[in-house]
Amino acid sequence: MLMTDRRILNFVLKLSDFTSRLRRMNQPRIIDGKAVAATVLEECRIETAALKAKGITPGLAVVLVGNDPASAVYVGSKARTCADLGFHSVKLELPAETTQAELLKVVADLNADPAVHGILVQSPPPKHIDEETVIRAIDPRKDVDGFHPKNVAKLVLEDPTGFVPCTPAGCMKLLEISGIDTNGAEAVVIGRSMIVGKPMAMLLVAKNSNATVTIAHSRSKDLPAICRRADILIAAVGRPEMVKADWVKPGAVVIDVGINRIADPSKKSGHRLTGDVAYDEVAPRCAAITPVPGGVGPMTIAMLMKNTLQAARQLG
């Protein structure tokens, strides 16, 4: 090969290395919730063994009323994860006709059961059940969902003896493990539910996070403009692929809490899961993003296990 040919070849190789590096720089970081959840569950396994050595077997009761298929899947995987960690696991599947009084009796029995440290009644219950009354009936020391008013107050007060709702706790863990600095960051939470939106905003604004937080919702004026302000955008609205590319500031971190089932004739099942974010068009603009599935979803169960261990520790 002539000297000039070699030089040209080297130049081309360098150029191709440079362009592939540039391409990599433009790729968003995909936050792997499955991997982070596995790490959290490993920590849980170690703590379970330590508690068992002290004669305490962590116990979680999950209660499902009715036969909503998605809820049945969630409850099944919560119970399976408990069993896998060596917890005492109680799974109660009650018929859709269960009365409010019958459900309250089930909760009272679980409150009184010393082998049960955590109680979770899957939401949403059937229409004839008043969810607020059921939540208030759960012993707040066993309320591993963190929905009881006493735990909501502890979250606002930043009292670590309270239980933090599992999904927003999982989002915070993903931000922390991914090295995303929330200090002074502009965070926008879309959604104001008691399960995700409101507790998420509280966690982001807390003293150990220090974000500046906006809670937006379906009635917010010019939602895309509000979202474009965000360094950290949390989508928790339950509307498939609502957040579009032009809602996202280039370089933002996007956490997609949505798990929506949409029709997809190309799939054998006839459907697929998608988030609240139009992933394919949004991802190239982001510094980091969670996929659906495999992002926030697995974290919810992992944080539930952590909360149950906290309850077992605190109740003894």
* Residues catalogued as catalytic: 78, 122, 145
Identity of the residue, 199 or 291, whose beta carbon is nearer to ligand GUN in the bound complex: 199
Q: Count residues contacting ligand GUN (CB under 6 A)?
A: 9
Among the residue ranges 83-91, 93-101, 118-126, 183-191, the one whose residues contact ligand GUN (CB under 6 A): 118-126
CB of 298 to ligand GUN, least distance (A): 13
Among the residue ranges 3-11, 20-28, 91-99, 119-127, the one whose residues contact ligand GUN (CB under 6 A): 119-127
Which among 162, 234, 226 is positioned nearest to 196, based on CA atoms? 234
> Which member of 120, 201, 232, 299 binds ligand GUN (CB under 6 A)?
120
| Residue 316 and residue 132 in contact, taking contact as beta carbons nearer than 8 Å | no
CB of 194 to ligand GUN, least distance (A): 10
Does residue 145 belong to the site contacting ligand GUN (CB under 6 A)?
Answer: yes
The DSSP annotation for 149-164 comes to: HHHHHHHHHT-TTSPP
Give the CB-nearest residue to ligand GUN. 123
CB of 257 to ligand GUN, least distance (A): 10
Identity of the residue, 249 or 306, whose beta carbon is nearer to ligand GUN in the bound complex: 306
Contacts of 233 (CB under 8 A, 6+ apart): 187, 188, 190, 227, 243, 247, 248, 252, 253, 254, 255
CB of 287 to ligand GUN, least distance (A): 27
Q: How far apart are CA 274 and CA 292, in angstroms?
A: 6
How many residues does the structure list for the chain?
316
Identity of the residue, 170 or 291, whose beta carbon is nearer to ligand GUN in the bound complex: 170
> Per-residue contact track with ligand GUN, 180 to 199, x per CB under 6 A?
---------------x----
For the chain, the first-to-last Cα distance in angstroms comes to 77
Does residue 85 belong to the site contacting ligand GUN (CB under 6 A)?
Answer: no
Among the residue ranges 97-105, 115-123, 236-244, 261-269, the one whose residues contact ligand GUN (CB under 6 A): 115-123
CB of 78 to ligand GUN, least distance (A): 9
Identity of the residue, 145 or 256, whose beta carbon is nearer to ligand GUN in the bound complex: 145
> Which member of 110, 138, 164, 166 binds ligand GUN (CB under 6 A)?
166
Identity of the residue, 122 or 310, whose beta carbon is nearer to ligand GUN in the bound complex: 122
Question: What is the residue whose two structure tokens read 């896998």?
Answer: 84
CB of 123 to ligand GUN, least distance (A): 3
Does residue 167 belong to the site contacting ligand GUN (CB under 6 A)?
Answer: yes
Q: How far apart are CA 291 and CA 298, in angstroms?
A: 11
Q: How far apart are CA 57 and CA 87, in angstroms?
A: 6
Contacts of 173 (CB under 8 A, 6+ apart): 36, 40, 299, 302, 303
| Residue 83 and residue 89 in contact, taking contact as beta carbons nearer than 8 Å | yes
Beta bridge partner(s), residue 92: 63
Rg, the chain, Cα only: 23
Q: Which residues of 257-276 are buried (b: 16+ CB within 10 A; e: fewer)?
A: bbbbeeeeeeeeeeeeebbb
Does residue 122 belong to the site contacting ligand GUN (CB under 6 A)?
Answer: yes
> Which residues are near ligand GUN by CB under 6 A?
120-123, 145, 166-167, 195, 300
